[in-house]
Amino acid sequence: MELKGIEKALKEGCKLHGFRSGGGLRVIRLEDESDNLRGYGEHPTAEDALFHANEDFLAGGRPYDKVYGGLKPHYLTGSQHPSTGFDEWLLQGRTIDAYLADGKFVVELKGLFETKMPKEVYKKVKETGKPAIWENRGYTYQVIPDRGDLVSLRVLESAEEEKDAWMYRVTKTGQGQNFFEALNNAVDAEAVEDAA
């Protein structure tokens, strides 16, 4: 698949930014160095929002009301069922940024991750009925059995740095010879926790 408009925009120095709107629509914006909007796309899924932004850039950046409610339907909400890994990323309230650096397309996926108790720790607590401890990101957590299938979690020891024990920001970065290659590489990349 090619997105010649998005690739042309990035080659001209524009930046791509994407996010999930309050109504759940996936939104893609192409902005020049002065933050002027050069292309826009929105759709219930991320991939179609990319295609809309691609088309809008190639058409010269049209007024919103000429496109949505005119050339295209005026979408009210986004899909709750992700179509791809990238769509799921935006659905979860995370973002995408893309630009050109050293002749390569670069995609950065950013967002929050949540500390999750390992399944084996939960299973051990439920089987034994005794508290268990696990460590992650410089924190020591305790899992305490509760009623039924419920458990209680608490932090026993905190990391030296001032980070949140439960939520943390990550970035996944991909590069490529074209936009889709960079996007796919970013989706497949390991999430790296951002510095505080």
What are the pLDDT digits (tens) for 62-93? 999 999 999 999 999 999 999 999 999 999 99
pLDDT above 90 as % of the chain: 81
pTM summary value: 0.86
- Angstrom distance (rounded) from CA 132 to CA 151: 11
- Angstrom distance (rounded) from CA 57 to CA 62: 8
Residue indicated by tokens 């791809």: 84
- Interval 2-34: pLDDT, tens: 899 999 999 999 999 999 999 999 999 999 999
- Angstrom distance (rounded) from CA 176 to CA 156: 43
Cβ neighbour number for residue 143 with a 10 Å cutoff: 21
